Structure 1
Amino acid sequence: MNKESSQTALLWIVATGFFMQALDTTIVNTALPSIAQSLHESPLAMQPIVVAYTLTMALLTPASGWLADRFGTRRVYFAAILIFVLGSICCSSAHSLNQLVIARVLQGIGGSMLLPIGRLAVLRSVTSEQYVSALAFVSVAGQVGPIVGPTLGGWFAEAISWHWIFLINVPIGAIGLAAVHRYLPRDTSGTAPPFDIAGCALLSLAMIAFSLATDAPVQTHRAAWSAGLFAVGLIAALAYIPYAKRRRNPLFRLALFSEPNFSVGLIGNLVCRIGSSAVPFLLPLLMQLQLGFTPLHSGLMMLPAALAGTVAKRWIAPLIQRYGYDTFLLVNTLVVGGAIVAFALISKGTPLAVEIVVLAVFGAANSMQFAAMNSVTLKGLSRADAGSGNSLFSMVQMLAMGLGVSIGGGLVNLFSAQFDSAAMGFRLSFVCVGVITLLSALVFRRLENEPAPARVIRRAPQGAGR
């Protein structure tokens, strides 16, 4: 197999893993009532099924870069897919809520490595000139997963059984395992320094505390609990700075932030993805609870966004080459945020054509946004920093995903109770998360237009980074 064919196979392998991980974050949502009925639980008691998965990924994502450097990207990626598939089988076999939560933790262990290890494999295998297009291709899988997730979840729950929302991962994962064994380039295990357990604990604590602060798991003194959790997260994050300065080999070197576009991209990703991550969660609820759609119907309504995102991926590289990252992200962020705000105008009287246009605009702009943000954040890192920088970036993505769902759902409940109207609750929530996305445009204004010291990446030895 020639080099070009090998790189194409690599992109498909990474896209497959990314699709499984992204799909599983949303496919459960529309099937939760069916799961609750089957397990003889209240639908409101199903939250641990979602929380266990996302928090497990949050906890283990920071270790992905070190694992790749210590054992090799090929070996770790194979193990990640295998663990994810085994977790999916256990989920489908669960007979109680506790069993399902434990199985979701196992899924999360594998899922925590699929995205960062896959992106790292691409970063180390393609040239800098190909990197934007490569990430654009891979990112489409991450966009399609959350969009088709509600459709598949609703269809499986209605037509077959909720168990199939997990069993669908088995054939996909089997193909991925065979492809990794056959096509993924072999790399040698590195001599990575001892893993920074204390640093990982501090950052994981910060991330979990921030996520729980937006959705405190208590009903009494909720505001006090949220404030306390936020304070814990902030203290843990700030404590990492002096800790990393003292430690010889910290989990994430503070020198990462000397690359200006990495810092700007990290913050911009966090802010922008809060709104973007809330949409796949809020839209199916809006369509089912307010517009009277069935779960399958609401899922099908998300297809225009998926198709538009697939088409738009071809535009990313030419647009960035012509206008630069800073101008492209500034304008495209405004489009994404505006589309999110426009969802607030959708009601039972909205023409179908208008709904489809808004969904298509959001899907196209959001697909390009994710690919551009990923590329500009990571492209300037040297190979020595690629592993740790990629892991930190993935951790921020997980944080933004959790915050988006928590903030979006929390705003709906808050505004619905305040105005005694669920319709008003959804409208104001879309406006708020759209404004949050629009604010990230201010962050992207600080980007440097030429962020790619690719010569550094090419010169660095294979497997040197963490």
Structure 2
Amino acid sequence: MISATASSSPRMLLWLVAIGFFMQTLDSTIVNTALPSMARSLGESPLRMQAVVVSYALTMAVVIPATGWLADRFGTQRIFLLAVALFTLGSGACAAAGSLNQLTAARVLQGVGGAMLMPVGRLVVLRNFPKDQFLEAISFVAIPGLVGPLIGPTLGGWLVQAVSWHWIFLINLPVGVLGALAALRFMPNQRSAGVGRFDLGGYLLLVAAMLGISLSLDGMGGLGWGHSLVVVLMMLGLAALAAYWLHALRNPAPIFAPALFRMPSYRVGVLGNLFARIGSGAMPYLIPLLMQLAMGYSPAQAGMLMLPVAMASMGAKRVITHLVTHLGYRPVLIGNTVLLGGMIAGFALMTPDQPLGLRIVQMALFGAVNSVQFTAMNTVTLKDLEPAHAASGNSLFSMVQMLGMSLGVTCAAALLKAFSDWLGVHGGAEALPAFRAAFVAIGVMTMASAAIFWQLGRDLAGGQPAVRAPEAD
């Protein structure tokens, strides 16, 4: 029986954290199948709607580094309540948006709340459950994180077709109200007595780096900025990243210490996660667009077609430990990254007249390969983290996950626009060649990231992978 030290109802505390995780992961995927309908409603091109996805993921990446300090400084209950309130208000603002700019701003507000839900919830579980019960507790919390991406595209497509796209945000309102009431009752307000000063200078440099690089890529896609502005933003982002590294070397308490990168498995894992996730992050954006714009699928049909991806992803987790144990991290990650890139490029072979069964098999195979990639990358990244670096290392890893998802969508949108302009196509079935070229380009980029995993030490060629709590991936 799970027990907690600071909650009158430990089971209710777990349910509260789990629901918060479900809300966050659901809204990471539910909008993808609704983008063409949103575009028609707002008078925009579907190929400019990536800002709705990017703004949410990028905001989460920006806010995550500050969540741990905020919870220690102001208390877990207060920050969790703030997270629920911002997420709920952002959802309402999304439903009321009358333009793409308004919707993007509302998604930023929603992302600020979403960024704090899971890190604060995980911190509460860590502090209130003893070590012998932590794995069971965090596994319970993680299950809704697996369910959210499973039902998100399907639910989004069904709501768009049955009522309107506004309902993919309106369904969050009653959940948010109930979550706030439950947080007042069951969430302990724990603080850290020895919390130090927040590294504001380092944080601002990190934010500038993420925004500069992401906006420069987005400027080549939906924003349509000139090449000079794109280059300036990219250089500013890279300069801010270099400045942060120099800042962290001389700061006694940076947000992310350079010492984290002295561990080879963590260094390779974080960089590999960032670049391999660009390909994986592009797919939930590209596939629903392809199905609706070039294949003639309805939103509900496009959403249903994502089910084999999620179901195969969950099923493949059973074989990952066996693969790593017998082959090792290095061969699995090198081979699977190349295979993943090939699977992504293989979507260029899709045609409207292919049998549905073949399409389902292709989706399921992609989901299984993607699941192996995520789990192996996650495990090799975190398995050697020392206790002294566990909190900051996990926070940096979470930030990289969301940043990879954001960069995946921005790269996909930029490539899709570039190929559309080059081929002179702008929508409908004639856009299929542009989608094909984008899939091939993203597949090649993903295969190239296998070179990062090549740098793993050969001592990771075999052995039992570390036991760790399951994640949404």
Aligned partners of 2:443, 2:140: CA distance in 1, in Å? Answer: 26
AA paired with 1:112?
A: A
Q: Which runs of 5+ in 2 are unaligned?
A: 426-430, 469-473
AA paired with 1:233?
A: G
1:288 paired to 2:292? yes
1:305 paired to 2:314? no
Distance change (3 Å), C-alpha of 1:45 and 1:317: closer
SS at match of 1:347: coil
Aligned partners of 2:32, 2:440: CA distance in 1, in Å? Answer: 22
Deviations 1:10-33 (A, max 9, x none): 876655434322332332343345
**Residue 196 of structure 2 is aligned with which of 193, 198, 206?**
193
Which range moved further: 280-289 or 15-24? Answer: 15-24
* 8 Å contact from structure 1 (residues 206, 237) kept in 2: yes
Distance change (3 Å), C-alpha of 1:424 and 1:28: same
Q: What TM-score, normalized by structure 2, do the two folds share? A: 0.82
Name the residue aligned to 1:2.
Answer: 2
Name the residue aligned to 1:430.
Answer: 439
Name the residue aligned to 1:205.
Answer: 208
Distance change (3 Å), C-alpha of 1:168 and 1:225: same
**Residue 350 of structure 2 is aligned with which of 346, 353, 356?**
346
Aligned partners of 2:368, 2:465: CA distance in 1, in Å? Answer: 29
Aligned partners of 2:139, 2:348: CA distance in 1, in Å? Answer: 29
Deviations 1:21-55 (A, max 9, x none): 23323323433454455556776775654454344
Shift of 1:121: 5.8
SS at match of 2:328: helix
SS at match of 1:25: helix
Shift of 1:115: 4.2
Aligned partners of 1:454, 1:352: CA distance in 2, in Å? Answer: 39
Aligned partners of 2:347, 2:385: CA distance in 1, in Å? Answer: 37
Which range moved further: 87-96 or 199-208? Answer: 87-96
CA RMSD of aligned residues (A): 3.7
Aligned partners of 1:297, 1:40: CA distance in 2, in Å? Answer: 23
Deviations 1:419-441 (A, max 9, x none): 34522211121112112222222
* 8 Å contact from structure 2 (residues 325, 463) kept in 1: no
* 8 Å contact from structure 1 (residues 136, 316) kept in 2: no
* 8 Å contact from structure 2 (residues 23, 172) kept in 1: yes
Which range moved further: 196-205 or 372-381? Answer: 372-381
* 8 Å contact from structure 2 (residues 50, 410) kept in 1: no
How many residues are aligned here?
454
Which range moved further: 82-91 or 10-19? Answer: 10-19
AA paired with 1:442?
A: A
Which range moved further: 239-248 or 95-104? Answer: 95-104
* 8 Å contact from structure 2 (residues 2, 11) kept in 1: no
Deviations 1:396-454 (A, max 9, x none): 22221121111112212222332345222111211121122222222223335289999
* 8 Å contact from structure 2 (residues 50, 413) kept in 1: no
Name the residue aligned to 2:67.
Answer: 64
Matches within 5 A, 1:108-127: 108-118=111-121
* 8 Å contact from structure 1 (residues 147, 280) kept in 2: no
Matches within 5 A, 1:329-344: 329-344=333-348
Name the residue aligned to 1:17.
Answer: 20
* 8 Å contact from structure 1 (residues 379, 452) kept in 2: no
* 8 Å contact from structure 1 (residues 136, 371) kept in 2: no
AA paired with 1:423?
A: L
* 8 Å contact from structure 2 (residues 3, 10) kept in 1: yes
Aligned partners of 1:48, 1:321: CA distance in 2, in Å? Answer: 41
Deviations 1:94-135 (A, max 9, x none): 45656544432321111122344455567776869986x998
Which range moved further: 118-127 or 392-401? Answer: 118-127
Aligned partners of 2:357, 2:138: CA distance in 1, in Å? Answer: 31
Name the residue aligned to 2:95.
Answer: 92
Distance change (3 Å), C-alpha of 1:405 and 1:219: closer
Distance change (3 Å), C-alpha of 1:100 and 1:316: same
Q: Which runs of 5+ in 1 are unaligned?
A: 458-466
Name the residue aligned to 2:428.
Answer: none
Shift of 1:181: 6.8
Distance change (3 Å), C-alpha of 1:128 and 1:72: farther
Aligned partners of 1:134, 1:447: CA distance in 2, in Å? Answer: 32
Distance change (3 Å), C-alpha of 1:437 and 1:40: closer
Distance change (3 Å), C-alpha of 1:454 and 1:345: closer
Aligned partners of 1:365, 1:331: CA distance in 2, in Å? Answer: 10
SS at match of 2:346: helix
Q: What TM-score, normalized by structure 1, do the two folds share? A: 0.83
Aligned partners of 1:428, 1:314: CA distance in 2, in Å? Answer: 34
Aligned partners of 1:9, 1:366: CA distance in 2, in Å? Answer: 33
Distance change (3 Å), C-alpha of 1:302 and 1:80: same
* 8 Å contact from structure 2 (residues 17, 141) kept in 1: yes
Aligned partners of 2:52, 2:445: CA distance in 1, in Å? Answer: 27
